[in-house]
Every structure is written in structure tokens, then in C-alpha cells.
Amino acid sequence: MEDWLNESGAAGLNDLELAEFPVTGRGVRTRRRFQQGERILTIPGDSLWTVEHADSDPLLGPVLRSVQPPLSVEDTLAVYLLFVRLREHGYEGPRSHVAAMPARYSSSIFFNEDELEVCAGTSLYTITKQLEERIEDDYRVLVMRVFTQHPDLLPLAKISIQDYKWALCTVWSRAMDFVLPNGKPLRVLAPFADMINHSPEVKQCHAYDPSSGNLSVLAGKDYEIGDQIYISYGSIPNNRLLRLYGFVIPENPNDSYDLVLSTHPMAPFYEQKQKLWASAGLDSASTIPLTLIDPLPKSVLRYLRIQRLDASDLAAIALQKLDTNEKISNSKEVEILQFLVESISALLDGFNTPFEKLQKQLAKGVYPLGGNAWAAAHVSLSEQRVLMLAKKRAENLLEAVESGSGNERSLLSPLARCVNCGKDSVPLMLCGRCKGVRYCGRACQVAHHKEHKVICQAMAKMR
């Protein structure tokens, strides 16, 4: 692969080498020092895998262009990969790249039932089940529309659904996405550059040049000789990392839970409420991420306030006497917060293994380190941790509304009060590590340490 890329005009390969690393497996190692921001690698545009290159291929291109409606970007690239992998002659450069790719992946779509069951109750579990059904449907469509129509190029006997899943995972885990100056998205697979692993400690350091069509990788930090170099896939939670890339980061600072809120179209005043949701940047079916930093976003409360508006509320809003950014009334706010506490409790009850039990199982080595079940367990921990924080925030808000203390706003603004006892009329000290919460004294800081520890680490890493 390196010889092909050098002949194609790649730059920087002589300063890098593929190597095996203890935790990440295969990656890219430096042969010299690099300073942050220095260009490490450039892959020429002609060597990239793109939809445009697939469509212009002399053999595969006519096949792809004849399919109506056109295949999706990921299916086009997946078919392109399978086509090249099946070639016995020609395509030496791309074939050398395919040969360097993993023969198998650890994405959740390859988990067996027992491994996937470890994360039952998570969004990953639900999405993986849905993906498996969608992949089967898409494979059947490809069989009918492409493979059986062109057996000389894409013989069905050599393209099983497992092969198709391999190609999809190759696209999901190795492709890079960019937005061109004209606003159009571009997805590319870059030989050798796709061997560079992810680290949350570096910022995005890969770029596509539309004028030349080349892809470059810059040093996201200073590197010494023999260091592994990294790129950033972005701020991605564990459930998405495992689904797309096949790995997790224990205590990932970007962990989240996607809360789905929806309202039936036959609900009272649906059209008026739909307009209010739209003005708030929401929809009648909204997916709102709950995170370690903000486990109960204001948008969740705003959605539910709009959902519960009655005729008099809507009239008051029309007269600008009510604002869904604030509570409509104490009774309705109590109803909303009780609903949240009960709903989040039900979500937590739906996990296959409760948080504390799962922690103990991981500590005892019940799940082999680095294995599929171990990764699934960490996804379950991640989502349960976020939901527990969201439930605690909802309970605190509910207590404030029911007591009439008027502290609801401060509870949604953690810097305005002691995060442990809620005091806001005394001098407060800032957490020295994460700078994200305040305490009224050392006693509250110590009492809150166990609950705050994970969030503190997450916030500190993001600073």
C-alpha cells in the first residue's frame, strides 16, 4: 500500500509506519518528531475512495449509474469495496489497501445475543436491533437491483450478508466526512490515513482541500519518535463509538443518553403546539441528548411544558402573557417533573443489569477486558450514569417547586448555588479541578465527591 501511495504522490509516509499497540491495536507510529500543527501526511485525491471515483470506474461505474433510484453514499462505497475485494487482476493499489483493512470488526452489529444482552435497555441495544433489520432489508435490495443483475462483476455467491456488513463497517469506521464550500457533504476513505486511531485528547486535525482534492493530517499535539499519532473523530459518546467504530472509552467525558420525546398528532391543539415547538427549535418528535455536563437540558422542560398547554395557556401565549421558557404554573411544573422522575426511573429499570451491580461485575473481571461484553457493559454504565444524574436533577427541581423555595432556576444553573446543599446566599468556592460547580464549604465538597467525581473528570478533560 505504501509503495502505491508514494507512486501516487503521497507525502509523509517515510516518517510514519504501521505498528501494533497494546490498547488500540494497529495504529500509526512516528519515525521522527512532529510539532503540533505540522503536516504529517498527505494522501492525493486520486487515491481516495469516493462516490465520484466509484461512479467513474470503467467497470463498476456503468453499473452504479444505471441503478435507479441511486444507491446511498454508504451503499455505493460498500459496493465499491466489495467490487475491488473480488478482483483478482488490476486495481493493485486499492486492493493493497483492502488487504490492509481488518478482516473483521467489533461493531455491535457483530455481537452475539449474549454479548448484546449485556447492554439491554440502552439506546445502543435498540439501535443495533433496528440496524440488523435495516441491513437485511438493504442487502435484499442490493441482491435484486445490483448483484443478480451483474453476476460477472458482483457474483452473489461471493457476497454474503456478512460480507456486506463488513463493507458497511469499513465505511462507518474508516470514512472521513467533510462539508465542501458549496455546502455539499463529502465522505472519503483515505488509504493509510484510515489506520490512525482516535483520541479525545486531540482536536480535529484532518482536512480536505477541495482545490487539489487531497486529504491531509496535521499533528494534533507534539509527538516524539515512536509515539502513536492520533486524530479526533469528534465528541462521541460510547454508544456511538461502539456502534460505528467498535470500541469504547471508559468514563468517556462525552457520554450521553438520547431522550426521545413525542406527541401523537391527534393530541389536543396539536397544530398550535407544533408551531411553538418549531419556534423553540424542537419538533413534535424530538431527540434531546442528556449529557454528563447537562443531564437535564432546559429544552426537555420546554418541550413538556408545550405538550401540556391547554386552551387558556395557548390564549395567554398568544397575548404574550406566558413564556414556555418559564414554568406555566406550579401545578403543571410539578406534573412535568413527576412525569420525568417516573419516566427516567422506568428507563433505568429497563437496563439488563443495574449500575452498581455492573460496576462490581467489571471490577471482578466477569467480562473479559476489551471483549465485546466488556464494551457493552461500559455502554450500559455510561447511559445509566447520565440517566441517574438526570433523575437527580429532576428530583431536585421537583422538591424546589413543591417547597415554593423558588430555586428552580438556580438548580438549572449549577454555578449559582452550592451543588450539594443548594445554598446560594453564602460565599461559594469553585471546584478547583473542573471549574464547573461551586460549594459553600469543604464539608459539602467532601460529601459530594463520590457523585461529582466522574462529572469532574469529564468537565476537566473538556476544558
**333 and 210 within one domain:** no
The CATH number of residue 139's host domain is 3.90.1410.10
Cβ neighbours of 211 (radius 10 Å): 7
pLDDT at 428: 80
> According to the 3-state scheme, what is the secondary structure of 200-223?
CCCCCCEEECCCCCCEEEECCCCE
pLDDT at 171: 97
Give Cβ neighbours of residue 124 (< 8 Å, ≥ 6 apart).
108, 239, 242, 243, 376, 379, 383
Within a domain: 250 = no
Last residue of a domain, one of 226, 245, 264: 245
Burial of 331 (0-12, 13-18, 19+ CB in 10 A): exposed
**463 and 431 within one domain:** yes
Within a domain: 209 = yes
Helix runs in 308-371, H state only: 311-318, 330-349, 355-363
CA torsion 81→82→88→94, rounded to 10°? 0
Residue range 391-417, pLDDT digits in tens: 999 999 999 999 876 555 545 554 456
Give residue 51's region: left, alpha or beta (phi > 0; psi -120 to 50).
alpha
**303 and 178 within one domain:** no
Cα separation of the two ends of the chain: 39
Cα distance between residue 256 and residue 248, in whole Å: 13
Among 39, 51, 116, 38, which residue's Cα sits nearest to residue 80? 51
The CATH number of residue 392's host domain is 3.90.1420.10
pLDDT at 423: 73
**221 and 260 within one domain:** no
Last residue of a domain, one of 216, 245, 274: 245
pLDDT at 415: 47
pLDDT at 414: 45
pLDDT at 101: 95
Last residue of a domain, one of 245, 271, 287: 245
**269 and 203 within one domain:** no
**Grid coordinates standing for 158?**
461471493
pLDDT at 412: 53
Within a domain: 23 = yes
Q: Which residues of the chain have pLDDT under 50?
A: 410, 414-415, 462-463
**296 and 192 within one domain:** no
**32 and 14 within one domain:** yes
**394 and 442 within one domain:** no
Backbone angles phi, psi at 177, to 5 degrees: -110, 135
276 neighbors 316 (Cβ within 8 angstroms) = no
Query: What 3-state DSSP class applies to 291?
Result: strand
Residues found in the chain = 463
**28 and 142 within one domain:** yes
Domain of residue 59: give its range.
2-245
Within a domain: 132 = yes
Domain tally for the chain? 3
Cα distance between residue 415 and residue 294, in whole Å: 12
**455 and 405 within one domain:** no
187, β-bridge pairs:
177
Within a domain: 337 = yes
Using the structure block, give the residue that is written with the C-alpha cell 438549572.
412
Give residue 285's region: left, alpha or beta (phi > 0; psi -120 to 50).
beta
**169 and 278 within one domain:** no
pLDDT at 463: 45
Within a domain: 251 = no
**225 and 116 within one domain:** yes
Q: Sort strands 185-188 and 215-218 into parallel, antiparallel or unpaired.
A: unpaired
